[in-house]
Structure 1
Amino acid sequence: MQEIAAGPLLSQIDTPADLKKLNKSQLQQVCNELRQFIIDCVSVHGGHFGASLGVVELTVALHYIMNTPDDQLVWDVGHQAYGHKILTGRRKVFHTNRKYGGISGFPKRDESDYDAFGVGHSSTSISAALGMAIASKYKGEHQRQHVAVIGDGAMTAGLPFEALNHAGVSNSNILVILNDNNMSIDPNVGALKEYLTDITTSHTWNKLRDDVWKLLGKLPYGDLQREMASKMEASLKGMVSKSSNLFEALGMRYFGPIDGHNILKLVETLKDLKEIPGPKLLHIKTVKGKGYELAEKDQTLWHAPGTFDKITGKINKKVAVVPEPPKYQDVFGHTIIELAEKNPLIMGITPAMPSGCSLKFMMDKMPDRAIDVGIAEQHAVTLSAGMATQGLKVFCNIYSSFMQRAYDMVIHDVAIQKLPVIFCLDRAGVVGDDGPTHHGAYDIAFMRCVPNMVVSAPMNEAELRNLMYTAQLPETDVPFVIRYPRGQGVMPEWRTPMEKIEIGKGRKIQDGHDIAILTIGHPGNFAVKAAATLAKEGIVPGIFDMRFAKPLDEALLHEVAQNYKRIVTVEDGTIVGGFGSAVLEFMAANNYAPEIKMLGIPDHIVEHGKPEELHRECGYDAEGIVATVREMLNSAILAEALAK
């Protein structure tokens, strides 16, 4: 892999200690070189792009002023942490970012002492940093700084408000930096966006705020002076702005907004804030994609564009010689429109992923029937439940990994009330470069144990359309999970007529002898490919696409158990409590005793890499299935020989 050359100053920075040796007058050049290094690396090797460009100055200022890693810095999500990684000893290996066996695309505790907290999911930073601050206070480490950097998009979740509510009364030494760029992956939505815009554009307050800040900087910080200054600041704020009291109402001292691209202002501000004890919030304004014009103009496209020509901005896309299958997410996005055009009761809900899950198509065509609720998975589920009580058929599309955040709502607000919410779980199975925080490993296991729940997975695009059609029918009156992976399906001609599927009914792909392969979802295609290889050796396994992990097709399982002595189960989910476990439970309950091997995601954390690399590592790709079948049959032959 190609290592990227750094500029003259950046090439001398291996740790923040090296950064601190520079004069403040050199910091702008460091920012320029760091921004260019990120552009060079991502253009060649891919990765997240716009978010890290937007916080280059903040990253440099934080490591220049704070004594990291003793001072603890928590980045929210981690999309914005590339500069942080580069300045903390990982510049020379940064070209391995998100590659199989390389460094993670997110901060990761076992990767570096500078990564204070692992962050792959949004909105965790304030809670984590507050926990660290309370621990430091308890241990008497009163000079230690604890900083949470959180975007305004991440602030739309409930967890940050819970954390702020606690932080304000904790009297702990925490600094929350609100990186306000009006974007998450897609443009932000909701009242918080309007609120931040209001306090940001209050010119009267901004001027007074700056004057007060300069005055505070001249005051000696005795208790009396600090109390007087705080009251003066609050009084002035109350006179000129009605909407700048939210954070202070929660007990956080609010500072800002300031220009997040002014490196000297950031350094000066952070230096001052370091001397002010207690909970504080610094509001900075930044531009996502700063320094790369195309990324500034189209921030959604350039969130993670893949590789591109940094001069022309042309994004490298694979040119298909023949028609290629679509992405499963796009099949969902177009199919829900087809269904909604015929069924006026259909609504679409997504928590801040309209582009990622392709609900954007419906939002463009039917804006009153498709809703982005922001980064708020719990709200998305209960909102869907509320709509379902009024007879609507709601497709609630949430990434499998993110659904974990709303599990309580799935049980209490949907399943117990038997409301027919349709959960489309995108990114099921291993997702690739984003790694363990994003793998959709557990949804089969945690959904199939919930009463009243249907858990299904399509083997191809036609099956996805059929399951979506079935789920929205009036007679389908139970919660319905449809899980499907990231990436392409297998059918270039995918716009098939939609048909009802009997809930709990699987299908036989081919008859065989000696051994049966039971699959659920997309890995059924791996089994078909494996069968083609095995056929050349005279081995013909039976292949069964079970479709449903709950309810199981018991008639089909009885047929399998009565005709095959050996069974392989294949799934792109955890083997602990997953589809294979469901098959084992059925066999035990019905006094069958076939030899069973379960293939799927093993009981350990799977790191990042291309999906095909991870399928191979986990052993459930076509080659893994072939090897398992051979092993089971060879063991059987050996056992028979020994018995003779």
Structure 2
Amino acid sequence: MRFSVALFLLLTFSLIFIFINLHCKSTKCEESNNNMFVKKMKNFTKKKQRLCSNFRKTVPSLFNISICRTKNVDCKGKEIETYYPLGNCKEDTKLLYVNNYFHLKHFRKFTFTKFYRGNIFKRENNVISQNSHKNDKKIDILNQRKKKLHTFQQDNKNTFVNISKELQDEENLNEKKKKNIYMDSIFDDINKYINIEMYNSIYGNDIYNEMINLYVKRIIPKDYEQKYFLQPIDKSIIYQIDKYEDNIFEKLLKLEFKNNGILINNINKKYFEKKNIYRMIKILHYFPLLKIINNPTDLKKIKKKYLPLLSYELKMFLFFIINITGGHFSANLSLLDIEMVLLYIFNQPKDIVIYDIGHQSYVHKILTGRKLLFLSLRQNKGICGFLNIFESIYDKFGAGHSSTSLSAIQGMYEADWQVCRKSKNDFTTLRRNYYRYFIGQNDKSIMEEEPCNDLDKFHIAIIGDGGLTGGMALEALNYISFLNSKVLIIYNDNGQVSLPTNAFSISGNRPIGSISDHLHNFVIHNSSKGDINSSFNKKEPNIFENLNYDYVGVIDGNNTNDVINALMDIKNNKLKRATILHISTRKTSDYIMRKSPINIMHSIKKNEIFPFDLTSLDNKEVTTHEGELENIHFSDPSQNINVNIFSEETFTDVYTREMLKHLEIDRGSTVFVSPAMLGGSGLLKISEKYPNNVYDVGIAEQHAVTFSAAMATNKKVKVHLCIYSTFMQRAYDQIIHDLNLQKIPLTVIIGRSGLIGEDGATHQGIYDLTYLGVLNNASIISPSNSVDLKKALAFCQLEREEGAVFIRLPRINSLSSDYMKNHLNIDIEREEAQMVDIHHLRTSFWGHARVIQMSTSGVIGSGGSSGSGSGGRKRGAIFNMGSMLFNVVNAVREMEKDLQFSDHFSFSVIDMIFLNPMDEGMIDYVVGQNKHDYLVTYEDNTIGGFSTHFNNYLIEKNYIAAHNLQIHNIYLPNRPIEHATYQEQQQDAQVDQVSLVRRIKKFLMGSFT
């Protein structure tokens, strides 16, 4: 039966291709062999859309077809072509453009080869795709390179006349030189993501041909610096790297970094030692313009017409580097041209530029002297993934959370205005707006009399990507207008919700809220009238003009020339009042296309797109013989933790799965609210299946809390507010006033509590126990494992009078079943069965700690007493709060292996779970009845958290003096914990397993007499 089906499909496809071949020949028009046009498709079937769909989904997958084009062909006239990805195949498509050369002979060869291999309909994966390196396939790099060059040759025989010779030469290369082929192959694949044809239609043949020569053929003119730049560039010291000894070179390079405005003392010198600089030199070989641009001064020397080439290089550089380091990718495509042109036109850092969302500023960092350090992006003591005032003088204001830029830029403008007044000794002239507001005058002479009307610098803020959904931004927008602070606000309208959500807005592919709707519709309306690329056309009033702003737009923010023209005009004419430049951009740009969905490419994990080992850039040999890559190790420091401890599910995954179970039982039982964090909060799958149960309120944390609290007053609805720990800080007044004081039974799921990893200091979730612990009508739960998380969620579905419940979810994976059974002594099946028992949840779970192990014997051999004393072991109890319980358990196991140490001490381990209500009965038992001598607290929070509540209880009960207790509190340090891997941050804070053993031993031995 299976063979018959395969045979039928084979015959069907054969007939299709015979038809195609017969209808692709023309006696009137000369057509190149590499193009195939499917004509008169409606003769095939009356259902054109169905044919388009079938052809798109089936036939192209066999031959790696990636592009369609509509084409009006006139042998005697002109051709008008429109290119687009196959995923957007239109209903009225009459002609199909296939960018892979094939005919019946190729088809026959392909068919029989694949048939005998048993995978006739399986697509050959020879392009970069998400997680492609995870497949157990051998990749022949040299053959891939040959196939790609062959494809280029077929596409343009006149351009690639020497390809055959190049292929023959490559076959004769030794293994050392094949490393270059390996790199060439990677950049060939990266090029596949870019529709170079688009550059031809936008920037013309000259730029298009330059791109073909520089980035496809990789032919760099000998005099290319003179060709592309107005003036000679002062070369970096790295191009004399072999001239100096290591220590001398590092000193000279450090001086170069300082001259470029980098606060290099805050960067670990390992990132700019020779080994890493050699690696970066090899990478920059593929970027002829970028490699000699070291700072904005160099950038300003490039000829304006060639800025699109630099834009192209920046895209490739971002793709390659971010895949290695991890970080935000598509978020940076949206503002790439804006960031480049702002540095090209304005005089930064004198002119102040502030970005609202710091992870969109990678291009800004690259072009302000940090290019050579980009392999340290988001690495421990490397460059930050966000703007950081301690990293560069070009980073004027730190940006981690959204919607802050407008307040910041106005503050800086007003400070400069005050300094100007002071320098001119003028303290009498009132601002124009004050006259108009208080006196009712509107005389232009007032403005002319103002001594500091024109400051000698520009103040620019870039906001968008959902940033204007934040109330703080709207407050600043209002006050900037009122004071007429002459700042330039660039509004980036890219039709996406703001921060890294890994999801579209629940209401569609655009920001949430009526203001965003208004601006989005405004762009669509003007775009339909053909005004999208017209910088200064007079348009109908919009919200900005109604607020008394000068308005410029809408500009295509991904068109380098349009951006240059708009910003040059603003600079030359200066600002008369607060001004909005409205740009329309695309996160996907022309770059991601159909192979990499935006919800995946927003943030890339290390080696997620293609595998790459940095050691392949070193001078040693790279194993690529026989086309095999499996012997290369792709390391990830974040995975150094013992993999047997953790499951494949994160705590957020467990939350999502449990909520879907509840909704399957009762569809209307629970609703969910998120301030622009659907993906990271685990609500994406829920919103897809139950869209009416999910509210995405945008970047509006204050509104989210009060909105959710008000919904929860209706006890027929269970409301879950899903919010990151770091963003919950922004709504603290609402938490106290609107939620806690009214004892409203809202469930708050706190995502990313504890240490956060590479996002660093601005996103750490290490303060929530401190600021939530003071709430008297709230319960705070920190489950260390999935079983206790499930119990907490089951409890929250019950009717309750306890007020709000806050459940902390760390970013890490949950503990594995084996680890819970063997090390935490959890009977998973029995405890999960008890979750349906309401009485059990109320009496045995709520407010109770979990005993991992309890020391009940203080005896050595048979001669000791039943308690501590002569000949007996001292008892120590470790009270855990939060996600790092595994460190405590592993540390105790390690100490118990030290026989000399364990002869003197025995240990109890208690997972407290609840900060409020804290299990005071467990503390009473450990101290009063089981007579422990040493008490240690351990938590994933900074000072003022669990340890403070624990110590206060001991003092209140007079336990310390009455029982001669020794107390040691271990918590995260009260300082910013910068970007690094999760494991590195634990080590830096000295709360990892090794540090825990050392600290506990030191405490016990120092107190032992």
| TM-score, normalization by structure 1 | 0.90
Superimposed CA distance per residue, residues 411-449 of structure 1 (whole angstroms, 9 cap, x where no aligned partner): 111111100111110100110000011000110010010
Identify the match of residue 75 of structure 1 among 339, 355, 369. 355
Superimposed CA distance per residue, residues 162-211 of structure 1 (whole angstroms, 9 cap, x where no aligned partner): 11011112221211111111113432333334222211122389667987
Identify the match of residue 383 of structure 1 among 689, 707, 721. 707
SS in 2 for 1:273: helix
SS in 1 for 2:940: strand
Instruction: Say if 2:695 is the partner of 1:371.
Output: yes
Aligned pairs for 1:368-517 within 5 A? 368-391=692-715, 392-492=717-817, 496-497=832-833, 499=835, 500=841, 502-512=845-855, 513-517=874-878
Aligned pairs for 1:38-437 within 5 A? 38-140=318-420, 142-183=455-496, 184=498, 185=501, 186-187=503-504, 188-203=511-526, 213=536, 233=538, 237-238=539-540, 244-274=541-571, 275-294=574-593, 298-308=597-607, 324-343=647-666, 344-391=668-715, 392-437=717-762
Q: Which moved more, 1:486-495 or 1:427-436?
A: 486-495
SS in 2 for 1:255: strand
Contact 1:108 1:118 in 2 (8 A): yes
Question: Counterparts of 2:319 and 2:920 in 1: how far apart (Å)?
Answer: 55
Question: Counterparts of 1:617 and 1:498 in 2: how far apart (Å)?
Answer: 40
Question: Counterparts of 2:646 and 2:782 in 1: how far apart (Å)?
Answer: 24
Superimposed CA distance per residue, residues 591-617 of structure 1 (whole angstroms, 9 cap, x where no aligned partner): 121222211211111111111111121
User: 1:13 is aligned with what amino acid?
Assistant: I
Question: Counterparts of 2:585 and 2:683 in 1: how far apart (Å)?
Answer: 28
For 1:565, the equivalent position in structure 2 comes to 933
Distance 1:321 1:628, change over 3 A: closer
For 1:588, the equivalent position in structure 2 comes to 955
* Count of aligned residue pairs for this structure pair: 609
Q: Which moved more, 1:147-156 or 1:407-416?
A: 147-156
Identify the match of residue 308 of structure 2 among 6, 9, 28. 28
Question: Counterparts of 1:418 and 1:57 in 2: how far apart (Å)?
Answer: 50
Question: Counterparts of 2:785 and 2:348 in 1: how far apart (Å)?
Answer: 49
User: 1:180 is aligned with what amino acid?
Assistant: D
For 1:621, the equivalent position in structure 2 comes to 992
Distance 1:489 1:202, change over 3 A: same
For 2:20, the equivalent position in structure 1 comes to none
SS in 2 for 1:103: coil
Q: Which moved more, 1:82-91 or 1:536-545?
A: 536-545
Deviation at 1:308, TM superposition (A): 4.1
Question: Counterparts of 1:211 and 1:322 in 2: how far apart (Å)?
Answer: 58
Instruction: Say if 2:936 is the partner of 1:611.
Output: no
Contact 2:534 2:553 in 1 (8 A): no
Contact 2:773 2:916 in 1 (8 A): yes
User: 2:776 is aligned with what amino acid?
Assistant: P
User: 1:412 is aligned with what amino acid?
Assistant: H
Contact 1:206 1:257 in 2 (8 A): no
Identify the match of residue 906 of structure 2 among 540, 544, 559. 540
Contact 2:400 2:762 in 1 (8 A): yes
SS in 1 for 2:784: coil
Superimposed CA distance per residue, residues 483-511 of structure 1 (whole angstroms, 9 cap, x where no aligned partner): 02102011358894462254321121111
Structure 1: gaps spanning 5 or more residues: 215-232, 239-243
User: 1:8 is aligned with what amino acid?
Assistant: P
SS in 1 for 2:691: coil
User: 2:586 is aligned with what amino acid?
Assistant: V
Question: Counterparts of 1:322 and 1:604 in 2: how far apart (Å)?
Answer: 29
Question: Counterparts of 1:62 and 1:210 in 2: how far apart (Å)?
Answer: 18
Question: Counterparts of 1:502 and 1:470 in 2: how far apart (Å)?
Answer: 9
Superimposed CA distance per residue, residues 309-333 of structure 1 (whole angstroms, 9 cap, x where no aligned partner): 76799xx999999993410111111
Quick one: percent identity of the two aligned structures?
A: 33
Question: Counterparts of 2:803 and 2:311 in 1: how far apart (Å)?
Answer: 54
SS in 2 for 1:573: coil
SS in 2 for 1:166: helix
Identify the match of residue 888 of structure 2 among 518, 522, 527. 527
Superimposed CA distance per residue, residues 318-352 of structure 1 (whole angstroms, 9 cap, x where no aligned partner): 99999934101111111122233445432111111
Question: Counterparts of 2:558 and 2:674 in 1: how far apart (Å)?
Answer: 32
Question: Counterparts of 2:320 and 2:759 in 1: how far apart (Å)?
Answer: 20
Question: Counterparts of 2:958 and 2:468 in 1: how far apart (Å)?
Answer: 53
Question: Counterparts of 1:51 and 1:536 in 2: how far apart (Å)?
Answer: 49
Distance 1:210 1:520, change over 3 A: closer
User: 1:246 is aligned with what amino acid?
Assistant: I
Contact 2:295 2:367 in 1 (8 A): yes
Deviation at 1:144, TM superposition (A): 1.3
Deviation at 1:285, TM superposition (A): 1.0
Q: Which moved more, 1:60-69 or 1:596-605?
A: 596-605
SS in 2 for 1:289: coil
User: 1:284 is aligned with what amino acid?
Assistant: I
Distance 1:119 1:252, change over 3 A: same
Contact 1:50 1:295 in 2 (8 A): no
Deviation at 1:259, TM superposition (A): 0.5
Deviation at 1:568, TM superposition (A): 1.1
Contact 1:150 1:176 in 2 (8 A): yes
Superimposed CA distance per residue, residues 445-494 of structure 1 (whole angstroms, 9 cap, x where no aligned partner): 10010120111100101111111111221024411111021020113588
SS in 2 for 1:34: helix
Distance 1:210 1:463, change over 3 A: closer
SS in 1 for 2:344: helix
Structure ranking higher on relative contact order (CA contacts 8 Å, 6+ apart): 1
Distance 1:282 1:296, change over 3 A: farther
Question: Counterparts of 1:514 and 1:310 in 2: how far apart (Å)?
Answer: 51
For 1:230, the equivalent position in structure 2 comes to none
For 2:220, the equivalent position in structure 1 comes to none
Deviation at 1:289, TM superposition (A): 3.2
SS in 2 for 1:144: coil
Question: Counterparts of 2:351 and 2:482 in 1: how far apart (Å)?
Answer: 21
Contact 1:35 1:291 in 2 (8 A): no
- Tell me which structure has the larger Cα radius of gyration: 2
Note the aligned Cα RMSD (angstroms).
2.4
Q: Which moved more, 1:5-14 or 1:381-390?
A: 5-14
Contact 2:523 2:532 in 1 (8 A): no
Larger fraction in helix: 2
User: 2:990 is aligned with what amino acid?
Assistant: G
Distance 1:66 1:211, change over 3 A: closer
Question: Counterparts of 2:787 and 2:520 in 1: how far apart (Å)?
Answer: 45
Question: Counterparts of 1:527 and 1:347 in 2: how far apart (Å)?
Answer: 36
SS in 1 for 2:813: coil
